[in-house]
Amino acid sequence: MSDATTAAPAQAGGIPQISHISEAVIRIAGNSQDGIQAIGGFLARLAGRSEQEVMTFMTIPSTISGGPSIFQVRIGSGEVLSAGDEADVLLCFYQHSYEGHLGSLKKGGIVLYDSDHVKEIPPENLSKYRHIGLPISSLVVEAIGGTGRDKGKNVYALGLIAKMFNLDVPKLHRLLQERFAGKDPKVAETAIAAFNGGYSHTLATAAELFKFKPGENVGHNQIVMGGNEALAYGLIAAGVRFGAGYPITPWSDIMELLRKELPKYGGSFIQCEDEIASISMAIGASWGGRVAVTGSSGPGISLKTEALGWAVMAEIPLIIVDVQRGGPSTGMPTNVEQSDLNIACFGGHGDSPRVVIAPSSVEDCFYTAIEAVNIARKYSTPVIILTDQGIASRIEAFAMPKLEKICQDISPDFTPVADHKPYDLAAADGITRHLAPGTRVASGKYPIVTGLEHDELGHPTGSPKLHVQMTAKRRNKLKKLGADLPTPTVFGPPEGQVLLVSWGSSKGPVEEAVKQARANGDAVSALHIKYLNPLPNGLEKIFEAFSHVLVVELNDEGFYGYGQLGAVLRARYCDPKIRGLNKVDGLTWKIREILDRVKAMTK
């Protein structure tokens, strides 16, 4: 909200003046059962419908019910790359929310609190932040009656925010009606009454109200969703019709969505007894003729690695989603970390090359899923989509995909063949292609798939020569993929002092850090790597033009001072200027954190 520009003339009668702003960060803090995510979701969706950019950030307790929870939403009329370092407005429901989150509010920011619950305000805070105390809990009872009190608090607060930011009330009413469509009409009526209660509050104690400048994404026809949703829908668009999984946070949303949606397309998603069964079942279905999906988060991925090795050996196309969380072991199940790169790229026994791709935003989740399916099919290989809790749970608006063009049919081909050797060493492109069971082979010689080293038909062999040849075959087809991958382009000038290398969800914050650094006159650029295994070629040429290459990762700096991608880049390029810029606090990057670390590492 720092770039508030034209302040409207102050109006008479103690009515707060209206400032026109191009962006705002609003943090809502309470308990998880307060429906805080719902308020955030409404705000995000409203922004999407208002042709604005939006990004959210939430923390959810890993306890079963309740516990402190927050939702932060950043709405911008222009580009939004991160959820924002500091909040402009903090809405807090409880004393603990007030105490826990005041530090996230920028100096001079507005704290709107429920004075029924927040009782102790240290006097020294009053000069630092603008305090607006309202007995929200009592006001909700006034608006909708005692019974709906706990349920209505969030919507009442949404009304207050709508008032404060002059949000589009008819659009919000419509969102509320859509949200409660199909339920007892009284539910929507109560929600609207609660909203109107909040909206009709004068907020007379506020010195200033706000209004967003019109959004820049005019005519974009935006949709709003979370990263896990986008990934699941991407798989559907890609033609995936079978999946198998086992519940684990934060992957479960994807399996729940696929379970619900796939039958509409004639497909199934099966909840299995364990992680091993789920990857095995997905591999079986893939072999059945159509690429299938399984997924998990860190601990589950560990369990899947033996079967993954089989899919590498048998060269079966397969999609494995890893929604990373804090590890090792049960770790920090509801926090973000990027510490599964090693297991994704190298996890398992033996030499088992596979493909690893990481989406960088909610929109990218959708398209990455499609791309992963196409790579899996084209190269007959398992592909790991390495997403993370940070993208999984955040909401963004993006342009409506052109579904008619994008959606693909990948149903198997059962046309009889004269003869077939899946592992033909003489194949021009070096790539294995399987026949789906049910396909007639006129020669009467049928191929087999196995985890044993095999000959060209898939039959087991102990031949040293064949093991050498087949190992090379499995490696070379993916080397070829690496050579076909586009070299990523530098964000900012292609030469300078510092190159920040990012992967996954860090892309937005890193690019925002670059913008800020350049605004301060520092020669900082960024390079985002989407294809992590194999890497695209040509990175060394990009590195040459910078004095420092800092790999920004949400994982530990390890024994030698660089994180997991840092280690891979060092191994490949033997370049000592590649260093790690790491953290493991379970939270997404703040822009200031990146800039401070860059300064400290390069002075």
Partner 1 sequence: MTALSFASETLTRTGNLNLASVPPLPEGERKGLTKKEVAADHPTWCPGCGDFSVLALYFKLIEKRKMHHEKITTVAGIGCSSRFPYFVQAHGAHFIHGRALPFATGVALSRPDLHVFVFGGDGDAFSIGGNHFTHTARKNVKLTYCVMDNNVYGLTKNQTSPTSPLGYKSKTDAWGSGDRPINPMKQAIAAGATFVARTTHTNPNHVLQMMEAAMDHDGFSFIECLSECVEFYPGAFDGANPRKGGQFPLVPEDHDVTDEYAAYKLSEDLMPGKFGIFYKVNRPTKNANEAKIISTNREKFVALPDWQILQKNFDRMK
Residues numbered 61 to 120 that lie near partner 1 (CB under 8 A) are none
Q: Which of 66, 122, 214, 288 binds partner 1 (CB under 8 A)?
A: 288
486 contacts partner 1 (rule: CB under 8 A): yes
Asked if residue 8 binds partner 1 (CB under 8 A), the reply is no
| Binding residues among 418-457 for partner 1 as defined by CB under 8 A | 418-422, 424, 426-429, 431-433, 435-442, 444-452, 456
Which range binds partner 1 by CB under 8 A, 24-32, 269-277, 321-329, 508-516? 269-277
Using the minimum distance from each CB to partner 1, give the nearer residue, 156 or 367. 367
Give the C-alpha separation, 383 to 372, whole Å: 6
Of residues 458-477, which lie at the interface with partner 1 (CB under 8 A)?
459-460
Report the residue number, 187 or 410, with the smaller CB distance to partner 1.
410
CA distances from 449 to 17, 164, 278, 311, 429 (A): 72, 63, 19, 9, 20
**301-340 binders of partner 1 (CB under 8 A):** 306-307, 310, 314
Minimum distance from CB of 589 to partner 1 (Å)?
Answer: 21
Vertex 66: Cα angle to 62 and 70 (nearest 5): 75
Cβ-based nearer residue to partner 1, 304 or 570: 304
Stretch of 385-393, 414-422, 496-504, 585-593 lying at the interface with partner 1 (CB under 8 A): 414-422
Measured distance CA(129)–CA(102) in Å, rounded:
9
Site string for partner 1, 163-182 (x = CB under 8 A): ---------------x----
CA 575, 566, 358, 484: dihedral to nearest 10 degrees?
20
Q: How far apart are CA 603 and CA 594, in angstroms?
A: 14
Q: Is 557 exposed, middle or buried (0-12, 13-18, 19+ CB in 10 A)?
A: middle
Q: Which is nearer to partner 1, 310 or 562 (CB)?
A: 310
> Which of these ranges, 155-163, 187-195, 411-419, 520-528, lies near partner 1 under the rule CB under 8 A?
411-419
143 CB-near residues (< 8 Å, 6+ apart): 152, 156, 193, 194, 196, 197, 198
DSSP category for residue 104: G
The CA distance from 377 to 250, in Å, is 27
Report the C-alpha gap between 56 and 84 in whole angstroms.
Answer: 9
Q: Which of residues 197-236 bind partner 1 (CB under 8 A)?
A: 221-225, 233, 236
Q: Binding to partner 1 by residue 413, rule CB under 8 A?
A: yes
CB nearer to partner 1: give 3 or 429.
429
Pick the closer one to partner 1 by CB: 81 or 270: 270
Q: Which is nearer to partner 1, 73 or 524 (CB)?
A: 73
Which DSSP category does 80 fall into? -
Min dist CB 277 to partner 1, Å, is: 4
DSSP string of 138-149? HHHHHHH-GGGH
Torsion of CA 602, 496, 582, 353, to 10 degrees: -140
Q: Nearest approach, Cβ of 230 to partner 1 (angstroms)? A: 10
Q: Which of 62, 115, 302, 408 binds partner 1 (CB under 8 A)?
A: 408
* Nearer Cβ to partner 1 (282/569): 282
Of 49 and 74, the one with the shorter C-beta distance to partner 1 is 49
Structure-block tokens of residue 213: 């400048």
Of the ranges 107-115, 206-214, 281-289, 346-354, which one interacts with partner 1 (CB under 8 A)?
Answer: 281-289
DSSP string over 42-110: HHHHHHHHTT-EEEEEEE--SSSS--EEEEEEEEESS---SS-SSEEEEEESSHHHHHHHGGGEEEEEE
Contact between 265 and partner 1 (CB under 8 A)? Answer: yes
Minimum distance from CB of 306 to partner 1 (Å)? 6
Is residue 538 a contact residue for partner 1 (CB under 8 A)? no
Site for partner 1 in 550-569 (CB under 8 A): none
Least separation in angstroms between CB 592 and partner 1: 28
**Is beta strand 524-528 parallel, antiparallel or unpaired with respect to 496-502?**
parallel
Give the Cα separation of 252 and 133 in Å (integer): 38
**What's the CA gap between 216 and 76, in Å, rounded?**
9
Contact between 402 and partner 1 (CB under 8 A)?
Answer: yes
Out of 113, 210, 212, 242, the only residue in the binding site for partner 1 (CB under 8 A) is 242
Which is closer to partner 1, CB of 536 or CB of 558? 536
Q: Is residue 363 at the binding interface for partner 1, with CB under 8 A as the rule?
A: yes
Tokens representing residue 378 in the block: 């084209």
Q: Are strands 242-245 and 293-296 parallel, antiparallel or unpaired?
A: parallel
Q: Please tell me the distance from the alpha carbon of residue 3 to that of residue 22, in angstroms, as a whole number.
A: 7
Measured between alpha carbons, how far apart are the two ends of the chain, in Å? 31
Distance of CA 590 to the CA centre of its chain: 16
How many residues does the structure list for the chain? 603
Q: Does 403 bind partner 1 (CB under 8 A)?
A: yes
- The count of residues interacting with partner 1 (CB under 8 A) is 103
Choice between 194 and 370, CB closer to partner 1: 370
Rounded to 5 degrees, what are φ and ψ at 269? -125, 130
Q: Residue 416 interacts with partner 1 (CB under 8 A)?
A: yes
Residue partners of 168: CB distance under 8 A and separation at least 6: 46, 50
Task: Name which of residues 21 to 50 contact partner 1 (CB under 8 A).
Answer: 45, 48-49
Taking the least distance from each CB to partner 1, the nearer of 39 and 312 is 312
Residues 308 and 320: beta-carbon distance below 8 Å: yes
